[in-house]
Structure 1
Amino acid sequence: MINEQIRDKEVRVVGADGEQIGVMSAREAQKIADEAGLDLVKIAPNAKPPVCKVIDYGKYRYELARKEKDAKKKQKTVEVKEIRISPNIEANDLNTKMNAAKKFLTKGNKVKVTLRFRGREMAHMNNSKHILDDFAEQLSEIAVVEKAPKVEGRSISMVLSEKR
Structure 2
Amino acid sequence: MRRRPQKPRPTGASQYRINHQIRIPQIRVIGPEGDQLGIMSPDEARDIAVEAGLDLVEVAPTAKPPVCRIMDYGKFRYEQSKKVSSARSARVEIKTLRMRPKTDTHDMETITRKARSFLEKGDKVRFVMRLRGREQAHISLWITKLNAMVETLNDIATVIQTPRIEGRMITATIEPNNSSSQSSSSSSSSAPSTTTSSSSS
DSSP-derived class of the 2:154 partner: coil
- Tell me what 1:131 maps to: 145
Q: Which digits, 9 at most, give the CA deviation of each residue in 1:23-80, with x for residues without a partner?
A: xxxxxxxxxx9xx449xxxxxxxxxxxxxxxxx86438xxxxx988863442212211
Code of the aligned partner of 2:93: E
Choose which of 40, 62, 67 in structure 2 pairs with 1:59: 67
The question of 1:147 aligning with 2:155 is answered: no
Choose which of 65, 73, 86 in structure 2 pairs with 1:74: 86
- Tell me what 1:27 maps to: none
Aligned residues of 1:118 and 1:154 also touching (Cα < 8 A): yes
DSSP-derived class of the 1:131 partner: helix
The question of 1:88 aligning with 2:128 is answered: no
Corresponding residue pairs, total: 117
The question of 1:107 aligning with 2:121 is answered: yes
DSSP-derived class of the 2:92 partner: coil
Taking only the aligned residue pairs, the percentage that are identical comes to: 29
The runs of 5 or more residues in structure 2 that have no matched partner are 1-29, 41-59, 69-76, 179-201
Please identify the structure whose Cα radius of gyration is greater: 1
Aligned residues of 2:126 and 2:171 also touching (Cα < 8 A): yes
Following TM superposition, by how much is the alpha carbon of 1:148 offset from its aligned partner in structure 2, in angstroms? 1.6
Choose which of 115, 120, 130 in structure 1 pairs with 2:134: 120
The question of 1:162 aligning with 2:176 is answered: yes
Code of the aligned partner of 1:59: V
Q: Which digits, 9 at most, give the CA deviation of each residue in 1:118-153, with x for residues without a partner?
A: 122122222210011101111111111111222111
The runs of 5 or more residues in structure 1 that have no matched partner are 1-15, 21-32, 39-55, 61-65
Cα-Cα RMSD: 3.2
Q: TM-score, normalised by structure 2?
A: 0.48
DSSP-derived class of the 2:67 partner: helix
Aligned residues of 1:87 and 1:115 also touching (Cα < 8 A): yes
RCO higher in structure (CA 8 A, sep ≥6): 2
DSSP-derived class of the 2:144 partner: helix
Q: TM-score, normalised by structure 1?
A: 0.58
